[in-house]
Structure 1
Amino acid sequence: MIVGIDPGTTIGYAIFDLDMNPLLIGSKREMSKEELADMIRKKGKPSLLACDVNPAPDLLLKLASYFNTRIFIPEKDMGDREKSKLVKGMEFSNEHEMDAAAAAMKAFRFYENKLRQIDRVLKEKGISGKAGEIKHLVLNNTSLSNALLRVDIEREIEMPKIRSREETRIDLEGKNRQIKEILDSSIELRKAVERLESENASLMAKIRFMEKGVFERLAGDREMRKKEIEIMRLRQATRSTRSMNLKEPAAKESEVNLEGIIGDYRKKHKHL
């Protein structure tokens, strides 16, 4: 609903549905907020409250908080000529009722294109019966797509689809195929895992064999190095022995020559 309100000592009110069919138009002197709210609630849930002045009167702010709905506020105070044009052809008991109706009509005109668009979309989807609910959501800052989604979800919850026997059979066959495909995939996956495990075991065996060969070669290299060191040591010892053997005859030869020289000297100087 769109509810126009003209606050004051005498409160004017005009309640319309979202196609702007009048539901209740009237006025009352010294009407309390609670009484006005109760009267509105009996007609339905307001989607929009409207006033003819800017800023919005305190009464509308309180009602908006009470109903958790939005307020349409004109850019500036509406003039008498504008109001008369908006409600042309309608009859009222006083100006308070006219002001309230004009406020509601201006709010509708502001959102009219959006509301007509909603009607077209819902007609295409075959859910025109949800127009009031969708429009209420859109007028309260919900996007049209989200409003449609919300209503679709609620409809699925409230009215579960009745499936035919044939639809159920087809659905079961489809699910059985899916189960078989999953099982087949599981078997193939298990075979693949077993192949990978076998290949992994073979690779590990090759790695261990190669490691063993490397260790054996390293051990052989160490043994060979020891032998080479021993051979070098023996060769060095042999060279030292030979050197000593060569020096000893030379010394003896020196001694022999010395004795000969002394003998020759003595012979030559025997007369001395």
Structure 2
Amino acid sequence: MQERFLIIGADPGHTIGLCALDFEGKVLHLAHLEGKGIEGAVSIIEGWGTPSLIACDVSPAPEFITKLASYFNVKFYCPKKVLREEEKKKIAKKYANVQNAHERDALSAAIFAWRANQNTLRSALASNIDEKIKQKLCHLVLHGYNRNIALEILQQTPENQKSVSRPPAQENGANSRSTDFSGAKKENLLKLKEKNETLSELARINSSLQKRILSLENENLLLKQRAASLKGGAWGMLMREGEYRKLKAKNERLEARIRELAKKAQILSNKFSSANKKEKAQFAEKENMQIKKEKLKKGEKPHQKNTEEKKKQLQEKEKDGSKTTKNLKSLNPSDMLQRMVEQYRKSRSLQEK
């Protein structure tokens, strides 16, 4: 990557918009790309320089922005609220090279990120040091470093010591301020330098891991697309057959379970009916016993009522018999014979019918 530090604005989507600013807010690059994903955006940004901040125009930041910032191991900026269309159009009017809404949104994101860090960047750029160190200083400040500590780290780096310009002499003729440090301060600076080197190494490792993650994600996406295209062909047929076999086996298990439950239900029904009959018989027996007990309490003997009824019937029959004998005695012999003949004829006619 070029040794040029940038503020990057990005608008994610199928068509990705990209914009690059320098630390003074000047627009250096505007571009858009279709269907190339995050890898295409990374390739373009690496061709422009080294990002110090990734910005978007919405809040919260989309996953694309967080992944892009993680890849370059930098912070990302998102506004407190979503930028309005009027604000973005107003910014785009100042730049004739804006080709579409994606580039406009990326430009607006970068401009708002620069404005949010404008005072910090101006303070760093006002330092009386070499231009290359100024750029690195702004880069570290946007990373979250304290300005003075970042400046001391950069001044202690051997490759930058030659580039550090001396501050102007004081008006009273005194010698310029000495840059010597006490032993404790030098030790602290060395520790900070070691930490910075460790962070740089971790950043390189993180960058390689992010590249690997991106390649694996793309490979996974291709496999998903391949699987989707195969669903309608032989693969889809195999899947349907496998699903059919699973459903058939499940249906057979359910039918066996239904038969088993039906047998259990029949056994329970038989037990219930037999128990119900026994219960009815026991209930009837209890009722009879209760009736007998009540009769005994009243002083009645068993079967007494039946014997009395039989006696009455016999007495009535005897009365009827005595009546018939009396009637027969009152009749003449000729009348008796005639009546007997009539009775015989009636019986014969009934038999013939």
Interval of TM-score (by shorter of Structure 1 and Structure 2)? 0.5 to 0.7
SS of the aligned residue for 1:47 comes to strand
Give the number of the structure with larger relative contact order, counting CA–CA contacts within 8 Å between residues 6 or more apart: 1
Residue 107, structure 1, aligned to residue 113, structure 2: yes
* Separation of aligned partners in 2, 1:41 and 1:14: 13
- Residue 60 of structure 1 aligns with which residue? 65
Contact 1:14–1:24 (8 Å) recurs in 2: yes
Distance 1:160 1:102, change over 3 A: closer
The alignment's TM-score, normalised by the length of structure 1, stands at 0.55
* Separation of aligned partners in 2, 1:12 and 1:157: 36
Matches within 5 A, 1:2-13: 2-13=7-18
Contact 2:11–2:56 (8 Å) recurs in 1: yes
Amino acid paired to 1:42: G
- Alignment counterpart, residue 85 of structure 2, candidates 71, 80, 94: 80
* Separation of aligned partners in 1, 2:71 and 2:62: 15
Contact 1:86–1:106 (8 Å) recurs in 2: no
Matches within 5 A, 1:136-215: 136-155=139-158, 159=162
Q: How many residues align?
A: 158
Contact 1:14–1:104 (8 Å) recurs in 2: yes
Distance 1:157 1:72, change over 3 A: closer
Distance 1:99 1:157, change over 3 A: closer
Question: In the TM superposition, what is the alpha-carbon distance from 1:159 to its structure 2 partner?
Answer: 4.2
* Separation of aligned partners in 1, 2:46 and 2:163: 30
- Alignment counterpart, residue 41 of structure 1, candidates 43, 46, 60: 46
Question: In the TM superposition, what is the alpha-carbon distance from 1:44 to its structure 2 partner?
Answer: 1.1
Q: Identity over aligned residues, as a percent?
A: 35
Structure 1: where are the runs of 5+ without partners? 162-272
Question: In the TM superposition, what is the alpha-carbon distance from 1:146 to its structure 2 partner?
Answer: 1.1
Query: After superposition, what is the alpha-carbon deviation per residue over 1:44-75, rounded to whole angstroms, capped at 9, x for unaligned?
Result: 11000000001111111111111000101100
Query: After superposition, what is the alpha-carbon deviation per residue over 1:209-241, rounded to whole angstroms, capped at 9, x for unaligned?
Result: xxxxxxxxxxxxxxxxxxxxxxxxxxxxxxxxx
CA RMSD across the alignment = 1.9
Query: After superposition, what is the alpha-carbon deviation per residue over 1:115-140, rounded to whole angstroms, capped at 9, x for unaligned?
Result: 111122x13xx434421100000001
SS of the aligned residue for 2:50 comes to coil
SS of the aligned residue for 1:150 comes to helix
* Separation of aligned partners in 2, 1:115 and 1:160: 20
Contact 2:130–2:163 (8 Å) recurs in 1: no
Contact 2:155–2:161 (8 Å) recurs in 1: no
* Separation of aligned partners in 2, 1:110 and 1:95: 22
Question: In the TM superposition, what is the alpha-carbon distance from 1:23 to its structure 2 partner?
Answer: 2.3
- Alignment counterpart, residue 134 of structure 1, candidates 117, 134, 137: 137
